């Protein structure tokens, strides 16, 4: 919760000239409703696809990012690459010629370039030899005119995540702006600092569409921060900083988030393969552990390694002049074939086989079932109101990836994945601001279709599932995947809403789910607390589903006297 105090505190950190700046008012700012004829901006009226100015606030794109990042749109600023928010932070908070910024060393080169352009002095604090962050050592370098601290985690070029506790210590101790650049966070097994924003209004998180999302060519970077800061950044930026084409293309790529997730999976497994193979080479002294999409590698003779790669048309980055990086090259993880080439050129004898990248990368959306060992399916469903990607693997489990724009609904869907022990991904872009109805209902349909499709012939499944009331979950669920649809709902809620979802939506959810999964579904629950009741229902459903989809026999026969379901 932002208090008046927070606002005063942040305001005091701003440069004086920025504090009361009146932004250029774009024609479209003044006009929020959709009109038929636009004669307000001196545009050319003849349609070429790009004859209109872009949305100055990138409303649609921010909505999608808001779902994916689980942060309100108002906390997101979008820039022309991360370069723009980096530059803006200096322009907002650092009076030229009389301020300094503090950065770790080694780190990303753009911070000091942008500082120099803005006439801001750079103070560098070396990380440990193994690139670890010592908060006290860094804080001892803070000077009276230090306005911003730049941290990069996972750090470039070292590749490692910085210790969370040390970063929190810096946030607790330093009174200025603390930037945590998370350009590589999607390659790491770590939670973003986004969750710390409510506690630390002086925190600014940088992310980008350039790396994990594969859109470096579009130049779109994010600053995620307190609304006060994103508002001021928006007032100072060029009015139309992201072009129509770039906004549309980004929306197109973001609408298939599971494909991006697959590619991240391949890159991470390739990173491990590459690291292992390289560390076995006699000319390699050290491969630093990486949480990013590149490896920092120390060679006995880095020039020799650089030249031999270069002679075969492979370019890597020489980082040997950076702090603690003597003899080091930075190698970006490529496709499995490209990585094979690197290993071959460097003389690795038995190149270990790449992962199951072919299996994992799905090139098409739509329904696809029928993996011999894993009963998997994916569904992409788009209507006027929602665009939903769902994927299940009934024979594999990993942490569910759920994003629907409704926090409580996310939490409930996670219960299905976790308590059923299946891999479940659900990403839903929908208009949750006006109504939760479409998001909940359409997700049920897509989930039902996806589960049905993953079950395939249903050969060998348990078919029936039941779950009886338990202490924490006062709910009972009966489930029969036999193919006939029958829905019974006996659940009463005291209130209208739980979190950001209206309680009446839950019966709609399970009804649509039973129709599309083609099952008998009887649900009964009672209790004092609505949150507990519905959580109990989702858990009980998950356990019932677990029994029903479980392979019991040889996988050939169907548990029915008729032989078919």
List interacting residues with ligand PLP (CB under 6 A). Answer: 81-83, 108, 152, 156, 181, 183, 208, 210-211, 216, 221
> In angstroms, what is the minimal distance from the CB of 224 to ligand PLP?
13
Per-residue exposure over 191-208, b if at least 16 CB sit within 10 Å of its own CB, e if not: ebbbebbeebbbbbbbbb
Rounded alpha-carbon distances, angstroms, from residue 412 to 392, 431, 489, 506, 529? 16, 19, 17, 10, 15
CB nearer ligand PLP, residue 20 or residue 321: 321
CB nearer ligand PLP, residue 216 or residue 310: 216
Q: Residues 370, 372, 373, 379: what is their CA dihedral angle, to the nearest 10 degrees?
A: -10
> In angstroms, what is the minimal distance from the CB of 379 to ligand PLP?
32
> In angstroms, what is the minimal distance from the CB of 179 to ligand PLP?
10
Structure tokens at 128: 């440990």
> In angstroms, what is the minimal distance from the CB of 497 to ligand PLP?
38
CB nearer ligand PLP, residue 254 or residue 517: 254
CB nearer ligand PLP, residue 103 or residue 404: 103
CB nearer ligand PLP, residue 152 or residue 177: 152
Q: Which residues contact 59 (CB under 8 A, 6 or more apart)?
A: 73
Give dist(CA 202, CA 305) in Å, integer: 43
* Strand-pair category, 177-181 with 203-208: parallel
Give dist(CA 532, CA 472) in Å, integer: 7
What is the distance of C-alpha 535 from the center of its chain? Answer: 25
CB nearer ligand PLP, residue 208 or residue 476: 208
What is the distance of C-alpha 497 from the center of its chain? Answer: 27
> In angstroms, what is the minimal distance from the CB of 410 to ligand PLP?
27
CB nearer ligand PLP, residue 214 or residue 462: 214
> In angstroms, what is the minimal distance from the CB of 79 to ligand PLP?
8
Structure tokens at 473: 């979950």
Task: Specify the DSSP class assigned to residue 74.
Answer: G
- What is the secondary structure of 161-200 as a DSSP string? PPPHHHHHHHHHH--SEEEEE-TTGGGSSS--GGGGTTT-
> In angstroms, what is the minimal distance from the CB of 110 to ligand PLP?
7
> In angstroms, what is the minimal distance from the CB of 68 to ligand PLP?
16
Structure tokens at 235: 């007032």
> In angstroms, what is the minimal distance from the CB of 112 to ligand PLP?
12
The three-class DSSP label of residue 486 is strand
Give dist(CA 40, CA 27) in Å, integer: 6
CB nearer ligand PLP, residue 113 or residue 348: 113
> In angstroms, what is the minimal distance from the CB of 208 to ligand PLP?
3
CB nearer ligand PLP, residue 106 or residue 465: 106
What is the distance of C-alpha 5 from the center of its chain? Answer: 31
CB nearer ligand PLP, residue 315 or residue 470: 315
Q: Using CB positions, name the residue nearest to ligand PLP.
A: 81
- What is the secondary structure of 260-310 as a DSSP string? HHHHHHHHHHHHHHHHHHHHTSTTEEEE---SSSEEEEEESSHHHHHHHHH
Structure tokens at 203: 């925190």
């Amino acid at each position: 919760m932002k208090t008046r105090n927070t606002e005063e505190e942040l305001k005091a950190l701003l440069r004086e000239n920025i504090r009361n700046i009146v932004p250029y008012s774009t024609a479209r700012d003044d006009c929020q409703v959709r009109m038929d004829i636009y004669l307000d901006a001196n545009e050319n009226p003849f349609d070429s696809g790009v004859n209109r100015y872009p949305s100055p606030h990138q409303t649609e794109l921010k909505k999608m990012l808001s779902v994916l990042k689980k942060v309100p749109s108002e906390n997101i600023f979008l820039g022309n690459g991360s370069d723009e928010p980096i530059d803006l932070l200096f322009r907002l908070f650092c009076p030229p010629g009389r301020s300094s910024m503090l950065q770790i060393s080694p780190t990303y080169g753009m911070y000091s370039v942008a500082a120099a352009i803005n006439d801001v002095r750079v103070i560098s604090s070396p990380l440990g030899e193994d690139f670890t962050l010592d908060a006290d050592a860094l804080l001892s370098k803070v000077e009276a005119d230090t306005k911003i601290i730049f941290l990069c985690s996972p750090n470039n070029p070292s590749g490692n995540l910085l210790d969370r506790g040390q970063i929190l210590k810096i946030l607790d101790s330093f009174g200025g702006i603390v930037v945590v650049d998370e350009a590589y966070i999607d390659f790491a097994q770590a939670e973003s600092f986004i969750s710390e924003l409510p506690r630390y209004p002086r925190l600014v998180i940088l992310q980008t569409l350039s790396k994990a999302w594969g859109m470096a060519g579009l130049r779109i970077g994010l600053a995620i921060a307190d609304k006060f800061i994103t508002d001021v950044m928006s007032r100072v930026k060029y009015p139309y900083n992201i072009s129509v084409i770039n906004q549309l293309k980004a929306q197109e790529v973001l609408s298939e988030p599971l494909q991006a997730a697959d590619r991240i999976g391949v890159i991470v497994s390739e990173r491990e393969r590459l690291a292992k193979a390289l560390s076995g080479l006699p000319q390699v002294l050290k491969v630093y552990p990486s949480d990013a999409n590149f490896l920092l590698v120390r060679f006995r003779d880095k020039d020799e390694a650089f030249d031999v790669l270069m002679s075969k048309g492979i370019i890597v980055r020489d980082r040997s002049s950076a702090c603690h990086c003597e003899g080091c090259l930075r190698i970006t993880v490529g496709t499995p074939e490209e990585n094979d080439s690197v290993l071959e050129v460097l003389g690795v004898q038995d190149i270990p086989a790449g992962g199951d990248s072919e299996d994992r990368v799905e090139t098409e959306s739509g329904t696809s079932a029928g993996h011999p060992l894993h009963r998997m399916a994916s569904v992409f469903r788009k209507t006027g109101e929602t665009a939903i990607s769902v994927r299940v693997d009934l024979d594999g489990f990993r942490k569910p990836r759920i994003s629907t724009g409704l926090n409580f609904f996310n939490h409930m869907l996670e219960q299905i994945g976790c308590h059923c022990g299946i891999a479940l991904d659900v990403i839903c872009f929908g208009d949750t601001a006006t109504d939760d109805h479409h998001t909940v209902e359409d997700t049920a349909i897509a989930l039902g279709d996806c589960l049905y499709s993953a079950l395939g012939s249903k050969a060998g499944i348990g078919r029936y599932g039941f779950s009886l009331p338990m202490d924490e979950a006062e709910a009972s669920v009966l489930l029969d995947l036999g193919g006939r649809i029958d829905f019974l709902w006996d659940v009463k809620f005291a209130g209208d809403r739980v979190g950001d979802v209206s309680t009446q939506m839950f019966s709609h959810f399970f009804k649509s789910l039973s129709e599309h999964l083609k099952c008998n579904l009887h649900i009964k629950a009672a209790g004092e607390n609505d949150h507990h009741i519905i959580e109990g229902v989702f858990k009980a459903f998950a356990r019932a589903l677990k029994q029903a989809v479980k392979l019991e026999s040889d996988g050939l026969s169907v548990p029915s006297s008729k032989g078919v379901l």
